[in-house]
Structure 1
Amino acid sequence: TIAAHGRPCMDMGARRAHERAAVSAARAAIIGGFQGTSDLEAAKRYGIRCIGTAAHAFTLLHDTERDAFDSQVAKLGAGTTLLVDTYDIRQGVINAVEAARAAGGELGAVRLDSGDLVAQAFKVRGQLDAMGATSTKITVTSDLDEYAIAALGAAPVDSYGVGTKLVTGSGVPTAALVYKVVQREDSNGETVLVAKKAESKSTVGGRKVAGRVLGEDGYATEELLLVGTSFEEGQALLAERGARPLQVQLVRGGQIDADAWGSEALSRAQERHLRARNELPYQAWRLSEGEAAIPTRYEKVG
């Protein structure tokens, strides 16, 4: 969504994930700035805007492309999105616009799913405008990730449908996050910090409290991890160091905080994510693989 620069991104990855994982992925996508999902269960469960287009198979099941478009428009109205690249894109656009107008309206959008998306977007925009369909939008799909979306920045695209590389993790299909023991009590009841020292898999011992240090301009300068302190004490220490707390307590006294699962939890999480993202400095928005957005500093306390 950072790469999209305000253009809507839609989750279309449900077919690439386990059905329950797809629902969780859709929820995470909304928190991260997406504006809709093709997953019906996620839309129902979390009140997310439900979106989608027909598949190529839908067009192939009809005798002609125009028959397929007429059928979809008859059911969903002229404002629907028609997939125009099953056969020939130029003719597909003609068929799509004419099908919508035959139903008494202007076509909502066309979807491009193959080929050189940048070049195709310019050609289709010109064709639509020449036909007087200036309000018809263009959405693109086809194995998009943040880098492909960034490359489409100058193209006349109105929205992106992101699937496989959203829900599978793309080149890093697992987050490599695991639980590790970081401290224990010795025979005297004293806390001892423990850490793994294996090459390339070392850890940092001690319970950690995370904060973000902001500069005078309001942008983040570093993430601060306080090591070896309790959550409550850590909050006070972060305040002393001028750092904003990053963690939220979800379990209190062994009970899950009801606010974490309430009807407003998703919108609050989305707002929190947006606030945190807006604190990032300019260099953190550059798409450069392998570079940390902002530095992280450890400070041992206690």
Structure 2
Amino acid sequence: MAPSTALLTDHYELTMLQAALASGTAERRSVFELFGRRLPEGRRYGVVAGVGRALDAIEAFRFGEEELAALDGVVDAPTLAWLADYRFRGDVWGYPEGETYFAHSPLLIVEASFAEAVVLETVLLSIYNHDSAIASAASRMTAAAGDRPCIEMGSRRTHEEAAVAAARAAYIAGFANTSNLAARRRHGIPTTGTSAHSFTLLHDTEEDAFRAQVTSLGTGTTLLVDTYDVAEAVRSAVDVAGPELGAVRLDSGDLGLLAVEVRAQLDSLGATGTRIVVTSDLDEYAIAALASAPVDGYGVGTQLVTGSGHPTSGFVYKLVAREDDQGVLQSVAKKSVDKVSVGGRKYALRRLTREGVAEAEVVGVGTPAENDGDDRELLVPLVRDGEVVGREPLEAARDRHTRSRAELPPAAQQLSRGEPVIPTVFEGDR
């Protein structure tokens, strides 16, 4: 059985629960919505990731003896008794994983009793805010890379568990591989890896290091050639592996200039099929700047796992409707000047032109927005009566992202700071 996710929450969720149980409002049918009021500054679109992990977290949200013991002094005995029997029995709809999103897109809709839904706030937000931030950055990177593969290499630059989630999110957004072996085991993501400078420094000569690597891993391996002198290293690499050498990696210096020089040298040595992989704090801008260089792949670490300047997506989880004393669902919303929410149960579709190009994110309030026949519905069932129904293979999310990004207007591919490529339009009662 998976470890419990029940304590991946905030203190106030359980104290709210206690007060609601005492006041008799805990069982009121409620609708919560997870959304972002805006895209991260300057971004033109976002990417939904973490859906599969969130479904796992909902299933594992159980209060066993250890979890209940940890809450001694946090909530009272009646609340502990209620939590001991907790199991989410409501319904969840959401944007499927890999989908693009915009401001006020209702990414997740949770309908259940207030008590059942409110306690999920923190765990759902922590998953969606992290994974969607990584996927959004990764999408910009793979768009900039075009047909050249990107490799996720950020494990050493973030928390060990965040590293696994980051690899998963990056793969959804088009990364070809990861260096993280836990991501391979848990999610089936292809892994790759070569060697570090320490391996070269371990040996008496660079040639000895190359020979040891090629002897063990074969001529298709990737040799790191910038520990000492790059030109000497490339010559030695081809001497050792022959013209069938798989790739060389550049990890420092002016990568564009070095790539041109190394490509010319490899070709002169007959290694015309040897690829050039570059690393070293790459982000989408650096990748785009290398578009004209003879580079065959990019290894991306720090900038990816930190969201390339936006490590969170800014999502919130708000009550948008609740049952009144007569059992009628009423719209509710926060009215703060700078944090206005739109109340009411939401429905969403992507309005498309006849040519299949996205032109608006349409959010229906209270009732579904009108579909003119060319539009695409965005919300799918994820949980029904407490049972997960929306789990899918990671490859499905990866394919969805490719299709969703392709239908956005061409401006989505621009890396310059700008407004969202399509507006969000509300229809219905507000």
The question of a shared fold, defined as TM-score above 0.5 by the shorter chain, is answered with yes
Q: Deviations over 1:221-250 (max 9, x none)?
A: 111111224xxxx3xx45357420122211
**1:131-210 maps to which residues of 2 (within 5 A)?**
131-210=269-348
**1:194-233 maps to which residues of 2 (within 5 A)?**
194-229=332-367
Structure 1 equivalent of residue 409 of structure 2: 281
Structure 2 equivalent of residue 260 of structure 1: 391
Cα separation, partners in 2 of 1:245 and 1:134, compared to 1, 3 Å: same
The CA distance in 2 between the partners of 1:151 and 1:40, in whole Å, is 30
The CA distance in 2 between the partners of 1:122 and 1:182, in whole Å, is 56
**1:239-250 maps to which residues of 2 (within 5 A)?**
239-240=371-372, 242-250=374-382
Structure 2 equivalent of residue 6 of structure 1: 147
**Do the aligned residues in 1 keep the contact of 2:225 with 2:248 (CA within 8 Å)?**
yes
- 1:32 is the counterpart of 2:163: no
- 1:45 is the counterpart of 2:186: yes
Cα separation, partners in 2 of 1:125 and 1:239, compared to 1, 3 Å: same
- 1:293 is the counterpart of 2:421: yes
The CA distance in 1 between the partners of 2:197 and 2:345, in whole Å, is 52
**Do the aligned residues in 1 keep the contact of 2:353 with 2:374 (CA within 8 Å)?**
no
**Do the aligned residues in 2 keep the contact of 1:112 with 1:138 (CA within 8 Å)?**
yes
**Do the aligned residues in 2 keep the contact of 1:224 with 1:243 (CA within 8 Å)?**
no
Structure 1 equivalent of residue 157 of structure 2: 16
- 1:113 is the counterpart of 2:256: no
**Do the aligned residues in 1 keep the contact of 2:172 with 2:397 (CA within 8 Å)?**
yes
Cα deviation for residue 291 of structure 1 reads 2.5
Q: Deviations over 1:104-123 (max 9, x none)?
A: x6210011111111111111
The CA distance in 1 between the partners of 2:224 and 2:145, in whole Å, is 21
**Do the aligned residues in 2 keep the contact of 1:208 with 1:225 (CA within 8 Å)?**
yes
**Do the aligned residues in 1 keep the contact of 2:222 with 2:246 (CA within 8 Å)?**
yes
Cα deviation for residue 60 of structure 1 reads 1.7
Q: TM-score, normalised by structure 1?
A: 0.90
**Do the aligned residues in 2 keep the contact of 1:208 with 1:226 (CA within 8 Å)?**
yes
CA RMSD of aligned residues (A): 1.8
The CA distance in 1 between the partners of 2:343 and 2:364, in whole Å, is 11
The CA distance in 1 between the partners of 2:225 and 2:348, in whole Å, is 49
Q: TM-score, normalised by structure 2?
A: 0.64
| Amino acid aligned to 1:81 | T
**Do the aligned residues in 2 keep the contact of 1:10 with 1:34 (CA within 8 Å)?**
yes
The CA distance in 2 between the partners of 1:154 and 1:238, in whole Å, is 45
Structure 2 equivalent of residue 69 of structure 1: 210
Cα separation, partners in 2 of 1:220 and 1:63, compared to 1, 3 Å: same
**Do the aligned residues in 2 keep the contact of 1:85 with 1:112 (CA within 8 Å)?**
yes
Cα separation, partners in 2 of 1:120 and 1:198, compared to 1, 3 Å: farther
The CA distance in 1 between the partners of 2:247 and 2:283, in whole Å, is 21
Cα deviation for residue 19 of structure 1 reads 2.4
Larger mean Cα displacement after TM superposition, 131-140 or 60-69: 60-69
Q: Deviations over 1:188-222 (max 9, x none)?
A: 33333222233433222222222101101111111
The CA distance in 2 between the partners of 1:202 and 1:290, in whole Å, is 23
Question: Is there any run of 5+ residues in structure 1 with no aligned partner, and where?
Answer: none
Cα separation, partners in 2 of 1:197 and 1:65, compared to 1, 3 Å: farther
Cα separation, partners in 2 of 1:111 and 1:88, compared to 1, 3 Å: same
Structure 1 equivalent of residue 80 of structure 2: none
**Do the aligned residues in 1 keep the contact of 2:223 with 2:248 (CA within 8 Å)?**
yes
**Do the aligned residues in 2 keep the contact of 1:285 with 1:293 (CA within 8 Å)?**
no
**Do the aligned residues in 1 keep the contact of 2:255 with 2:278 (CA within 8 Å)?**
yes
* DSSP-derived class of the 1:178 partner: strand
**Do the aligned residues in 2 keep the contact of 1:284 with 1:294 (CA within 8 Å)?**
no
* DSSP-derived class of the 2:252 partner: coil
Identity %: 58
Cα deviation for residue 255 of structure 1 reads 0.6
The CA distance in 2 between the partners of 1:238 and 1:25, in whole Å, is 36
The CA distance in 2 between the partners of 1:156 and 1:165, in whole Å, is 22
The CA distance in 1 between the partners of 2:382 and 2:158, in whole Å, is 27
The CA distance in 2 between the partners of 1:294 and 1:60, in whole Å, is 52
* DSSP-derived class of the 1:72 partner: helix
The CA distance in 1 between the partners of 2:147 and 2:339, in whole Å, is 38
**Do the aligned residues in 1 keep the contact of 2:226 with 2:252 (CA within 8 Å)?**
yes
Cα separation, partners in 2 of 1:18 and 1:301, compared to 1, 3 Å: same
Larger mean Cα displacement after TM superposition, 216-225 or 203-212: 203-212
Cα separation, partners in 2 of 1:144 and 1:180, compared to 1, 3 Å: same
Cα deviation for residue 182 of structure 1 reads 1.6
**Do the aligned residues in 2 keep the contact of 1:110 with 1:137 (CA within 8 Å)?**
yes
